[in-house]
Structure 1
Amino acid sequence: MTQSKRETERKYDAPSADDTSWLPDLTGVDGIVSVVDQGIDELDAVYHDTEDLRLAGASATLRRRTGGPDAGWNLKLPLSQDSREEVHAPLSEKLPETLRDLVLSRTRGAELAPVVRIRSTRRTRQLVDSEGAVLAELTVDQVRAESLRGMTTLAAWTEMEVELAEDTEVSLLDAVDKALHKNGIHRAANPSKLARALEETGVGGPRLPDVRAEIVVPGSAGDDVLTYVDEQIRTLVRLDPAVRRDVPDSVHRMRVACRRLRSTLRSYRSVLDREITDPIRDDLKWLGGELGAERDQEVLMERLGARLEALPTELVLGPVAARLKAWNVANTDEARRRTLDALRSPRYLALLNSLAELTEQPPLRRKAARTPEKVMAKAIFKEYDRLAGRVAHALELSPGTERDVALHEARKSAKKTRYATEPARASLGKPAKRLGKRVKAVQKVLGDHQDSVVARDALRKLALAAHAAGEPGFTWGLLYGQEQAVAADRERELPDAWAEASKPGLRKALTP
């Protein structure tokens, strides 16, 4: 069983652990009325990482600690500059499989082994407000580190941490930081004990290939595309632990990262060799599909639930809410299994390795070295022209199944066009952003239309099941009719939305 919490802290260099006369009096700083000594703990932590320090390279740490209130296995994942998520598992001899899974997107299946041992003598003080609530903890650690990589190199230093309590505003950190700075106490250069231990015991830092620096021309089309690709890969890797732990909205965001990556690799084939990227796109399509089952069910249930809740009570005939709930539970459980099975699969592991290689050794084509303006604009125009053709085709069709399919294809093309504008914003600026915004409006209209198509299919199946059970079908038919009306409204809105996205000035502004 694991538990998690958000940890927000700042580290400082400290002159001494034995004599703390250098520590200023913090009473009166931003609501602190007393500083309460909590005594001394002896902490002993062994940090684990891969041979090439992939966790450290991703600013993550995994340790087994004895002593102190949080003895056990602790995984820390970066959130923002001062914050990390800490996932705690009970003390055991072996690394819990749950934590091994949570670091998979960063280790990519490489073996984990002890790297350094860090022992600390820690003195803790609580910063308390007028009502006796703990605002933060201030700790002074006398640290001894040793390499576990066959060396006997030792290192020692003293440091101080200020960690906020869970409900304390970050402004307290700023106020304490200011008070410490006035007294000559400055922020530590290293972001963590592990980073300093790796450096001072001679283990070294993460070893990353330097091939990319040699082949990517700064300010080129390749540089712009890879910067965007890197961002999406980091997002996917970062969201993996959240998806495994079922954090709200994490599946949706990871699926979007898959789509953005896949679309970018398609749109910018002139920059990245498709012989390398097409297999990656296939795997991203597969992963997005597996994640999509869970996300689509979530969206569909929200839509149908809201429609049902909005109906007057007298129009809800039969056990409609109970049937809808049972249907959602069954589909959600199955979708959740698909998500977790995908993240545990060899294919997903292979995809992570392919993405890492894409980042470290990008398969650049000749046009990647060119200035980005023409290269990026041409890629956008290609997607835009495909979108224009699909919208025109859909608008020519009569309402019905064939038109629904055509509108769905146009929606997918709108997403591709919008995503193609995103890597180009650095070089093409506001015109790319403006076109992306107009296309997004088209995508939104088409998206609501497609959601209605999916909702009607689900409502029909629910109505059939209700009929077979001898339940009234009136309410299901009413909901179905509402969705038909929504679809008709979106079809009427599409011409105006497309007119805004197809104004000649938008394209002209992108032309180099």
Structure 2
Amino acid sequence: MRSAESGRKYELSLKARVPQLAGKGITQEAPAERTLETVYYDTKDFRLTRAGIAVRRSSDTGWCLRLPGHELRFPLGDSKVPAPIATLVRAFTLDRKLRPVAQLRTDRFTHRLADASGRTLATLADDHVTGEFLGGQAVRLDRWRELDVEAGPELLDRLDRTLRKRGAENAWWPSKLRRLMGDTAEGKRGSNEVLPAYLREQFERLRRADLGFRVGEDDSVHQLRVSARKLRSVLQTFKSLVGKKKADAIVAELKWLGAELAPARDAEVSQARLRACLDEVPPELVFGPLRQYLTRDFSRAAQTELARVTEALSSSRYVTLLRSIAALLDTMRPAGKKALRKPLRKTARKLSRATEAAEGLSGAELDKALHNVRKKAKRARYAADAVRPVSGKKLRTWRKQVKAVQQTLGKHQDTVVDRAALRHFAIDGFSENQNTFTFGLLYGRDEAAAKMLRDRFAGQWRTLREGAGPAWLKAGIL
């Protein structure tokens, strides 16, 4: 995809003469002519177009899937949408049939602009477009003209001035398809009330992460997991406002999805953290093929767990979940500002009780209890995030302090997971007659780090209890 600095689009009257851009050392050649036939595909309710995604079949370039940040091409084939394309956009179509919604014929006249030596300086594509919209109640025809100019930034500005003098105007529509469709693909707008808006945002993030995973983007499993967790957490917190039966059913399925995603993400995090810890050990204290151990074990786990994620995202259960979330968002009713307070106060109270339950514990029991506190803190933070647009300064301060608690306990949980992995590596290494001293050293470091993090948490919790929170909420944590 080209940047705004290398190309610009304009509209021009069908009756106007082609602009002459020659002059000052620039010649404009006679046009090269060709005709392009393009068919666009979408669902009946234009789910792809509304998401900024385009599926098209062109007579010259074959099938193309245009995504935000990506453009993927496939062989021309027949008029049936290729299975790989349908799979990639599944989170948006929800398995609804892709059918032709628009047909374009473009008579393109391409002019090359060159300098005295014949070097290409710019190209001017003069497109005469005939469009047929097939997706409405009646077929709609339209004809228009577009100019597409590609050049370096400095020359582009110069050509821009000339084109405007010749009657060209900035193209208002982002694409030929959107011009032909007009407002048809807009669909109904959801409520802007804070809770539906937050859930819609996380649902959109989940679908974008799904798409990212399918095209091989880094960190996509993490983004999928975060969005699923936020949806689940906020639906749990505010289910009295959403509808308990509907919310509970979706939460259960989001829990299933999270369980399918978790091992792959946990393996990524643990491997990166253990490698970083190993890099901090002085070379003279590194014994045995430790990095080979990490690579071997985590590579094997990564392949298994990524296959598990792929299987989950390919299942009918997953599509049913997405449909349920979409249906819920279409029917949610707004809730008043005061109605949002009770669920948030209840969540704050659960966080306080979980912290009290951890007092006096030690060893594995303490680790488990602090992990529960972390989960309760995360839910409280997400609940505060959901109501942030209508919250005051005191709630935002409270949310910041809750996030600090969550992050500290998250690091503590990392040490718990890492110590379990290090113990496993040490046992395996010992059975293979390897020197496992360094694994023991890292284990001891993690134990010391865990103690430091527990002390930090204790101080942060005191700050949270004594900090400035709104009066209606502080009763939930005192």
- Return the TM-score normalized by structure 1: 0.82
Does the 8 A contact of 1:387 with 1:417 survive in 2?
yes
Alpha-carbon deviations, 1:53-72, whole Å to 9, x = none?
A: 221222321001122xxx02
The equivalent of 1:230 in structure 2 is 200
Shift of 1:439: 0.8
1:280 paired with 2:250, answer: yes
1:120 paired with 2:106, answer: yes
Indicate which of 186, 195, 198 corresponds to 2:181. 198
Does the 8 A contact of 1:422 with 1:432 survive in 2?
no
What is the rounded CA distance, in whole Å, between the counterparts of 1:331 and 1:273 in structure 2? 39
Does the 8 A contact of 1:106 with 1:237 survive in 2?
yes
Q: Structure 1: give runs of 5+ residues left out of the alignment.
A: 79-83
Alpha-carbon deviations, 1:365-410, whole Å to 9, x = none?
A: xxx443x1x222322221111111212322x134310000000000
Q: May I ask how many residue pairs the two structures share in their alignment? A: 470
Does the 8 A contact of 1:11 with 1:191 survive in 2?
no
Shift of 1:73: 1.1
Indicate which of 400, 403, 419 corresponds to 1:456. 419
The equivalent of 2:83 in structure 1 is 97
Shift of 1:34: 9.3
What is the rounded CA distance, in whole Å, between the counterparts of 1:287 and 1:174 in structure 2? 51
Shift of 1:6: 7.2
Does the 8 A contact of 1:24 with 1:183 survive in 2?
no
1:315 paired with 2:294, answer: no
Name the amino acid aligned to 2:46: L
What is the rounded CA distance, in whole Å, between the counterparts of 1:176 and 1:384 in structure 2? 61
Alpha-carbon deviations, 1:387-445, whole Å to 9, x = none?
A: 11212322x13431000000000000010000001121111143332222111110110
Change (3 A) 1:57 1:402: same
Change (3 A) 1:324 1:504: closer
What is the rounded CA distance, in whole Å, between the counterparts of 1:257 and 1:231 in structure 2? 9
Shift of 1:488: 1.1
What is the rounded CA distance, in whole Å, between the counterparts of 1:26 and 1:450 in structure 2? 69
The equivalent of 1:159 in structure 2 is 146
Does the 8 A contact of 1:75 with 1:87 survive in 2?
yes
> Helix, strand or coil for the counterpart of 2:108?
strand
Alpha-carbon deviations, 1:214-257, whole Å to 9, x = none?
A: xx6x7xxxx21111111111111222110112201222112111
Shift of 1:172: 9.9
What is the rounded CA distance, in whole Å, between the counterparts of 1:510 and 1:36 in structure 2? 73
Change (3 A) 1:13 1:382: same
Name the amino acid aligned to 2:341: A
Indicate which of 352, 364, 388 corresponds to 2:352. 388
Name the amino acid aligned to 1:205: T
The equivalent of 1:186 in structure 2 is 169
Change (3 A) 1:382 1:143: same
Shift of 1:182: 7.5
The equivalent of 2:56 in structure 1 is 63
What is the rounded CA distance, in whole Å, between the counterparts of 2:455 and 2:52 in structure 1? 50
Change (3 A) 1:185 1:25: farther
Change (3 A) 1:290 1:308: same
Indicate which of 386, 404, 414 corresponds to 1:441. 404
Query: Equivalences for 1:161-176 in 2 at 5 Å?
Result: 161=148
Shift of 1:496: 1.2
Change (3 A) 1:37 1:229: farther
Indicate which of 51, 63, 67 corresponds to 1:77. 67
Task: Pick which of 93-102 and 279-288 moved more.
Answer: 93-102
What is the rounded CA distance, in whole Å, between the counterparts of 2:398 and 2:24 in structure 1? 54
Task: Pick which of 403-412 and 436-445 moved more.
Answer: 436-445
The equivalent of 1:412 in structure 2 is 375
Task: Pick which of 117-126 and 337-346 moved more.
Answer: 117-126
Change (3 A) 1:109 1:326: same
Does the 8 A contact of 1:7 with 1:163 survive in 2?
no
Shift of 1:173: 8.5
Shift of 1:510: 6.0
What is the rounded CA distance, in whole Å, between the counterparts of 2:382 and 2:14 in structure 1? 53
> Helix, strand or coil for the counterpart of 1:422?
helix
- Return the TM-score normalized by structure 2: 0.88
The equivalent of 1:248 in structure 2 is 218
Name the amino acid aligned to 1:462: F
Name the amino acid aligned to 2:269: V
Change (3 A) 1:369 1:452: closer
What is the rounded CA distance, in whole Å, between the counterparts of 2:298 and 2:59 in structure 1? 44
What is the rounded CA distance, in whole Å, between the counterparts of 1:72 and 1:332 in structure 2? 35
The equivalent of 1:88 in structure 2 is 73
Indicate which of 327, 342, 352 corresponds to 1:357. 327
Name the amino acid aligned to 2:71: E
Alpha-carbon deviations, 1:29-68, whole Å to 9, x = none?
A: xxxx99898844422111111122221222321001122x
Shift of 1:179: 7.8
Once superposed, what is the RMSD of the aligned Cα atoms? 3.4
The equivalent of 2:343 in structure 1 is 379
What is the rounded CA distance, in whole Å, between the counterparts of 2:408 and 2:176 in structure 1? 51
Task: Pick which of 152-161 and 263-272 moved more.
Answer: 152-161
Shift of 1:178: 8.0
The equivalent of 1:139 in structure 2 is 125
The equivalent of 1:81 in structure 2 is none
What is the rounded CA distance, in whole Å, between the counterparts of 1:391 and 1:175 in structure 2? 66
1:260 paired with 2:230, answer: yes
1:482 paired with 2:445, answer: yes
> Helix, strand or coil for the counterpart of 2:100?
strand
What is the rounded CA distance, in whole Å, between the counterparts of 2:84 and 2:23 in structure 1? 40
Name the amino acid aligned to 2:126: V
> Helix, strand or coil for the counterpart of 2:125?
strand
> Helix, strand or coil for the counterpart of 1:44?
strand
Shift of 1:509: 8.0
Does the 8 A contact of 2:12 with 2:167 survive in 1?
no
Shift of 1:96: 2.5
Shift of 1:105: 0.9
Does the 8 A contact of 1:294 with 1:332 survive in 2?
yes
Query: Equivalences for 1:12-27 in 2 at 5 Å?
Result: 12-16=10-14, 19-21=17-19
Task: Pick which of 57-66 and 12-21 moved more.
Answer: 12-21
